[in-house]
Amino acid sequence: MALAPPRPVNVTAPVTRPYPEPQILWPTFPGYGDDSRSSDSCAFPSLPAIKARRAARPAEVLTAFVEAAWMAQDRILILDDFLFKPQEGQSLQSRYDQILFWLPDILVANDIRVLTNSHEDPAEQDAIQKLFNEHVATINQHNPRRAGAARIEIRFSLGRRFPYVHDRFAIIDDELWHFGATVGGLHSLVNAATRGWNAETHDAVRFFKDAWDGDDDVQRGGFHG
């Protein structure tokens, strides 16, 4: 991955993270992006780029999303039904490492929450939770003077308690991201993401909370899909 390590952020004087006007981005393959820094493209990828990305394991991430996560000042909220499901030919650990890469030891944001579907293997679900608990402990040890302890919460309840969502979303501070496939661009087929939307204006934080808490009617058997 052609990304420079994130630069340390002064946790005692955090800055407001700027974000661009709404734009659409396609994750592609190194050498086919809009510049030498990343493989992100502002246009549909060419056929050679499509084939190169499809053959890659793991798929190249969306650089802009990773950099935004690194610079998060407050929160990273992710809603994705199959975030932890690897692509065919990709190991479970490789997929987990891709996601952990979004959360460097010097991360400033305190509120990191992931809402996804239950895992096919309950033991693997426990292993994911343990892995991320250990990672957030490292983050807090690395920044002992941070403004409060960071926490990473994972709920595997999306399909069971809020079975209404098809798309994938992420909120980084006050910026809303919308993904056509896996958050962060982790799917190898052609898919796009849009960014730069105001999360509060579009009720994204309220929607995430509704999904996070779940629908009690579903628990009572009131939902019919």
Give 37-89 pLDDT, tens digit per residue. Answer: 789 999 999 999 999 999 998 999 999 999 999 999 999 999 999 999 999 88
The mean pLDDT of the chain is 90
pLDDT of residue 71: 94
- Domain assignment present for residue 222? The answer is no
pLDDT of residue 38: 85
- Domain assignment present for residue 14? The answer is no
Q: What is the maximum span of the chain, computed from C-alpha positions, in angstroms?
A: 53
The reply to whether the predicted model has a pTM over 0.85 is: yes
- Domain assignment present for residue 3? The answer is no
From CA 220, how far away is CA 48, in angstroms rounded? Answer: 50
Report the pLDDT averaged over residues 103-127: 94
pLDDT of residue 6: 60
- Domain assignment present for residue 37? The answer is yes
pLDDT of residue 56: 92
Is the pLDDT score of 115 beyond 60?
yes
Q: What count of Cα atoms within 13 Å lies in the side-chain half-sphere of residue 55? A: 7
- Domain assignment present for residue 27? The answer is yes
CATH code for position 73: 3.30.870.10
136 — pLDDT class (breaks 50, 70, 90): very high
Total structural domains within the chain? 1
11 — pLDDT class (breaks 50, 70, 90): very low
Residue 128 structural domain:
23-217
Is the pLDDT score of 4 beyond 50?
yes
- Domain assignment present for residue 13? The answer is no
- Domain assignment present for residue 11? The answer is no
- Domain assignment present for residue 5? The answer is no
221 — pLDDT class (breaks 50, 70, 90): confident
* pLDDT tens sequence across 185-211: 999 999 999 999 999 999 999 999 999
